[in-house]
Amino acid sequence: MAEQHRPVAHPVDSRRSFLTEALAIVTGGLATLTPVAAGVWAFLDPLRRTKAAASYLPVTELAAIPDDGLPRQFPVIADRVDAWTGFAAEPIGAVYLRRAKGSDTVEALSATCPHAGCFVEMESTGKCFRCPCHNSEFTLDGGIVAPSPSPRPMDALECRVAENGGVEVRWQKFRAGVADKVEQ
Amino acid sequence: MKHTNHGDAVQKGVFGRLADFFDDRTGYRALMHEALYERVPGGARWRYVWGSTLVFAFMTQVITGLFLWASYSASAQTAWESVYYIQHEMAGGWLLRGIHHFMAQAMVVLLALHLLQVVIDGAYKAPREVNFWLGLILMMLVLGMALTGYLLPWDQKGYWATIVATNLAGIVPGIGPSLQQLVIGGSEYGHHTLTRFFALHAGFLPGALILMLVIHLSLFRKHGLHAKQPITKPDAMFWPDQVLRDAVAMLAVMAVVLGVILVPALRAMLAGEPVDVGHLGAELGAPADPSLPYAAARPEWYFLFLFQFLKVFEGWGATGEFLGAIVVPGLIMGVMFLMPIIGNWKLGHRFNVAFTLGIVAGAGLLTAMALNEDYYALWADKAALADAQKLYDETGGDEEKLAAALGGDKAKITAMEAKWEKLEKIRHSQAFLDASKQATLDAARAIELAGRPEKIPTAGMLELVRTDAKSQGPRLFAQHCASCHAYVDPQAAEAASVIAKASAANLHGFGSAAWMRGLLDPDQVAGPAYFGNTAHKDGDMVNFVQNELTDTDTWKKDDIEAVVVAMAAEAGLAGEKAAEPLVAKGRELIASDERCGSCHRFRDNGTDLGTACDLTGWGSREWLVGIIVDPTHERFYGDTNDRMPSFGKAPEGGLPRLTRAQIELIADWLRGEWYRPAVAAH
Ligand code: FES
């Protein structure tokens, strides 16, 4: 197995040596960076997927919301696309709707906690909302009950009542954990 | 090659010659020698085993992880399904997944121990600074793998915990929202959240970890073991003394992990109960459902302190969340990275030790607080709060009323308010416990459904759960029916009070002979379980039952019973049996225009609709669906309908309150019709 070690040629010309080094680095770098760049390019794809503008979705009818000022939870149903799968009429979230005595206007609150996105629920006493994750408490109109981990009140959603009594909510999502209500 | 063994080869056996062949070409003997004959100053010791157990734990994760990978499928419609299959259908899958799940937890514990030891022993000091930093990076990689792994089964708990974690990533200033979008693979959680988390969990993170680990270990070898002073015994070699100790420690770690997995089985066996291996090891919750609240959302126990930490900044608003989720953890990591430098100062090492112990104690305290909040109701002394509860119920929790009730006595009011606070804690804790219980039930039902002979449909498990009457019925009923109707077994302890509060009939057992017997009972018909709290309280039916059915000349006891069983036969609930002749007699009575038929249509008795309910097929699925769709239809209450909404009728161009499918779910649930697994033959 003994091999003869032959002498290595030492380039005398240091300018040529620098050129070779630089070229080696650039060539090798280009070769390796190509797959990296292709990977990163595809990986960043979600950044260019902006959400379609929020639209009004029919949620229920006016008669289904008793006019007692107490919020009721309703699922929001819509078609949904998840990457390559299309879902027809699926529950995609929930809203709380309420209306005051004798009033025809409906207030809508998103059930998504503005703190970190858990599902806010009505407390069993029916007196307030409470998020089960970090105990943020909200009044029935969505206001913050201090002290609260949540940086802002529950997110109100735009809501309108159509002529046929259908209640429609503009389904939006907002960034969690910030004081301002910024659409996501 | 300075020297070859060719000359001796003649005397060696075939294995010896083979070994020589490879050694000549690879030099593996020297490598092995270097690996095994590391000098251990002061000889082998138990305290040196922690690093090795960590490497072992990681190797276990790689091995079990690869085999899990061989059966896992990362997509929103297959993740839960494939994990279910591993856990409940594949031979040994429960053990594989159990080891992976609990070894991950063991790894976190071992990491903490290793870190503590390194800091306390001062092993981070020169020349080992770089290795200490590598160790910290390794720690973060391990935690990252734990975090990403939690989502992969795509069950409720992983899903909601991930929502919280990724939303927190979103508050990093500047890049937060983009970071969040990249991690979840878009703006909604779904397929790409899973594929990305999986790639991180099984590719990027372990790849980086292995790289770091190789450098960590070679640097460790370069600097040698950081020996604990004073050294009293002579030095020894790594092999075999230290290796034996390491091996014993590894086996012990594995034994603990296996113990955690197998103890429930042992318990069941001792109690003489059958053991379902699918329920051993790691649990699998109900499939992730973004539209279903999950009040039991909690991260894995070793992240509980971070979770609790967010509550510490209550009332700080967005700043608090930023501090709690990003700044403080970042600062802590920063200080840890600076430890080798801090350690150069006179009191630096003491500071480092105190700091680390402080962090561990703080994390322990926060974990205890989190657990106490969640489980408070289990150990709170509720008897001592009975008076407070009473007062709370009376005043409705109103502080002014409380002051009035206590005659304005300041001391008493403060004392009572303190008690109310405890009550509130109990309420919160109870809500968590109830949610956990519900989560367990939901998980069990999902697993039962997945085990149907028809298997899981293409659309995935969520679809199966959403169309399951047993799981959806109670929810739909609670949301749409329970504001008027009760649903409680009349034999249950709390039944009377529940029924009394309801403003419409108790629908438990609707369609059964027992239910009908109650309706035809003069003492019950105007009670709250039937028409008592409705507009029909003084209606024709109540009048008939109370005044005509009591006439024993016309209505013999047998006649009434015949009507009861004939009505139950219309509903045709499973498990209701009656003698055929009696049913036939009952049908005649119902149809007869001298009896029920004078008001009620029954089959072809010719009575006009509109005066009373059509009794044809009463309580059947079709009949129930019909009355829920539209009780004002002439087949049902017509214009005498009390308050019941027409759930299935849509206003012009609008949506009905309930879809046909939802109404069918309620009807099936009321009738007790849902999938039940066949009972295994003994
Ligand atoms: S997510 Fe609601 S309180 Fe934290």
**CA B473, CA B674: separation in Å to the nearest integer?**
10
Domain count, chain B: 5
Q: Which residues, listed in sequence order, are joined to residue A97 by a DSSP beta bridge?
A: A72, A108
Q: Are residues B126 and B30 in the same domain?
A: no
Which chain A residue's Cα is nearest to B425? A135
B191 and A165 within 8 Å at the Cβ level: the answer is no
Cβ of B163 under 8 Å from any chain A Cβ?
A: yes
Nearest-Cα distance to chain B for A166, in Å, is: 6
Q: Are residues B4 and B72 in the same domain?
A: no
| Atom 3 of ligand 1, residue of closest alpha carbon | A134
Using CB atoms and an 8 Å cut-off, which of residues 176-195 of chain B contact chain A? 177-178, 181-182, 184-188, 190-192
Ligand 1 atom closest to Cα of residue B310: 4
Q: Which residue is it, tokens 């309910």?
A: B613
For B543-559, the pLDDT digits (tens) are 999 999 999 888 999 99
Cβ of B136 under 8 Å from any chain A Cβ?
A: no
DSSP per residue over B105-148, as a string?
A: HHHHHHHHHHHHHHHHTTTTSTT-HHHHHHHHHHHHHHHHHHHH
**CA B104, CA B205: separation in Å to the nearest integer?**
14
Mean pLDDT computed over B142-161: 96
Q: What is the CATH number of the domain that holds B243?
A: 1.20.810.10
The Å distance, Cα B163 to ligand 1 centre, comes to 10
B191 and A83 within 8 Å at the Cβ level: the answer is yes
The Å distance, Cα B465 to ligand 1 centre, comes to 26
pLDDT confidence of B401, banded at 50, 70, 90? confident
B321 and A116 within 8 Å at the Cβ level: the answer is yes
Q: CA-CA distances (angstroms) from residue B252 to B45, B50, B97, B247, B637? A: 16, 12, 19, 8, 72
Six-digit token pair at B38? Answer: 């590391």
pLDDT score, position B216: 96
B188 and A80 within 8 Å at the Cβ level: the answer is yes
Neighbours of A88 (CB within 10 A): 8
B654 and A111 within 8 Å at the Cβ level: the answer is no
Q: Are strands B485-486 and B504-506 parallel, antiparallel or unpaired?
A: parallel
Q: Which residues in chain B have their CB less than 8 angstroms from residue A138's CB?
A: none
Cβ of B482 under 8 Å from any chain A Cβ?
A: no
Looking at the domain assignment, is residue B332 inside a domain?
yes
**CA B427, CA B424: separation in Å to the nearest integer?**
5
pLDDT at B2 over 50: no
Q: Are residues B210 and B346 in the same domain?
A: no
* B132-141 b/e (C-beta count within 10 Å ≥ 16 → b): bbbbbbbbeb
Domain A56-170 belongs in CATH node 2.102.10.10: yes
Q: Are residues B28 and B50 in the same domain?
A: no
For A2-45, the pLDDT digits (tens) are 456 777 766 556 777 889 999 999 999 999 999 999 999 999 99
pLDDT at A147 over 90: no
Q: CA-CA distances (angstroms) from residue B127 to A12, B329, B355? A: 39, 27, 22
Q: Which residues in chain A have their CB less than 8 angstroms from residue B296's CB?
A: 132
A184 and B168 within 8 Å at the Cβ level: the answer is no
Last residue of a domain, one of B297, B320, B337: B297
Last residue of a domain, one of B432, B463, B494: B463
pLDDT at B1 over 50: no
pLDDT at B181 over 50: yes
Range(s) of the domain holding residue B324: 302-365
Q: Are residues B139 and B229 in the same domain?
A: yes
pLDDT at B7 over 70: no
Using CB atoms and an 8 Å cut-off, which of residues 384-443 of chain B contact chain A? 397, 427-428, 431-432, 435
Q: Are residues B65 and B113 in the same domain?
A: yes
Dihedrals phi, psi of A77, to nearest 5 degrees: -110, 130
Select the residue from B3, B21, B188 to test the A interface by mutation, using most A Cβ atoms within 10 A. B188
B561: which residues sit within 8 A by CB, 6+ positions away? Answer: B517, B582, B586
Q: Are residues B499 and B612 in the same domain?
A: yes
The Å distance, Cα B83 to ligand 1 centre, comes to 28
Q: Which of A178-182, B224-228, B493-497, B664-668 has the lowest mean pLDDT?
A: B224-228
Looking at the domain assignment, is residue B133 inside a domain?
yes
**CA B560, CA B183: separation in Å to the nearest integer?**
68
Which chain A residue's Cα is nearest to B649? A61
For B479-513, the pLDDT digits (tens) are 889 989 999 999 998 899 899 989 999 999 999 99
Last residue of a domain, one of B297, B313, B331: B297
The shortest CB-CB distance from A64 to any of B185, B317, B657 is to: B657
Q: Are residues B526 and B434 in the same domain?
A: no
Q: Which of A37-51, B140-154, B309-323 has the lowest mean pLDDT?
A: B309-323
Looking at the domain assignment, is residue B473 inside a domain?
no
The shortest CB-CB distance from A135 to any of B77, B297, B311 is to: B311
| Atom 1 of ligand 1, residue of closest alpha carbon | A116
The Å distance, Cα A126 to ligand 1 centre, comes to 19
The Å distance, Cα A135 to ligand 1 centre, comes to 6
Q: List ligand 1's pocket residues with C-beta within 6 A.
A: A 113, 115-118, 131, 133-134, 136, 149-150; B 164
More confident site: A145 or A51: A145
For B341-358, the pLDDT digits (tens) are 999 999 999 999 999 999
The shortest CB-CB distance from A125 to any of B168, B290, B397 is to: B397
The shortest CB-CB distance from B191 to any of A50, A85, A164 is to: A85
For B198-238, the pLDDT digits (tens) are 999 999 999 999 999 999 999 998 998 888 778 888 888 88
B320 and A151 within 8 Å at the Cβ level: the answer is yes
Q: Which residues in chain B have their CB less than 8 angstroms from residue A129's CB?
A: none
Looking at the domain assignment, is residue B681 inside a domain?
no
Cβ of B369 under 8 Å from any chain A Cβ?
A: no
Nearest-Cα distance to chain B for A24, in Å, is: 25
The Å distance, Cα B295 to ligand 1 centre, comes to 11
User: How many pairs of residues across A and B have Cβ atoms under 8 Å apart?
Assistant: 160
Looking at the domain assignment, is residue B309 inside a domain?
yes
**CA B627, CA B637: separation in Å to the nearest integer?**
9
Q: Are residues B112 and B194 in the same domain?
A: yes
Q: Are residues B128 and B196 in the same domain?
A: yes
**CA B253, CA B272: separation in Å to the nearest integer?**
29
Six-digit token pair at B205? Answer: 């993170």
Dihedrals phi, psi of A56, to nearest 5 degrees: -75, 130
First-to-final CA distance of chain B: 72
B168 and A83 within 8 Å at the Cβ level: the answer is no
The Å distance, Cα B55 to ligand 1 centre, comes to 37
**Exposed/middle/buried for B277, CB within 10 Å: 0-12, 13-18, 19+?**
middle
Select the residue from A41, A80, A106, A119 to test the B interface by mutation, using most B Cβ atoms within 10 A. A119
pLDDT score, position B582: 94
Three-state secondary-structure class, residue B531:
coil
**CA B243, CA B40: separation in Å to the nearest integer?**
11
Report the share of chain A in percent with pLDDT over 70.
94
Cβ of B142 under 8 Å from any chain A Cβ?
A: no
The Å distance, Cα A113 to ligand 1 centre, comes to 6
The shortest CB-CB distance from B192 to any of A46, A91, A134 is to: A46
Residues A154/A131, Cβ–Cβ less than 8 Å? no
For A62-80, the pLDDT digits (tens) are 888 888 899 999 989 899 8
A82 and B190 within 8 Å at the Cβ level: the answer is yes
For B274-318, the pLDDT digits (tens) are 998 999 999 999 999 988 888 888 899 999 999 899 888 887 878
Ligand 1 atom closest to Cα of residue A116: 1
More confident site: B386 or A44: A44
Cβ of B653 under 8 Å from any chain A Cβ?
A: yes
Residues B366/B308, Cβ–Cβ less than 8 Å? yes
pLDDT at B677 over 80: yes
The shortest CB-CB distance from B164 to any of A64, A117, A125 is to: A117
Residues B183/B196, Cβ–Cβ less than 8 Å? yes
Q: Are residues B151 and B292 in the same domain?
A: yes
Instruction: State which of A109, A136, A155, A174 you would mutate to test the pocket of ligand 1, scoring each by most atoms of that ligand within 8 A of its C-beta.
Output: A136
A94 and B186 within 8 Å at the Cβ level: the answer is no
Six-digit token pair at B406? Answer: 């206590």
The Å distance, Cα B454 to ligand 1 centre, comes to 39
Q: Are residues B68 and B193 in the same domain?
A: yes
Looking at the domain assignment, is residue B57 inside a domain?
yes
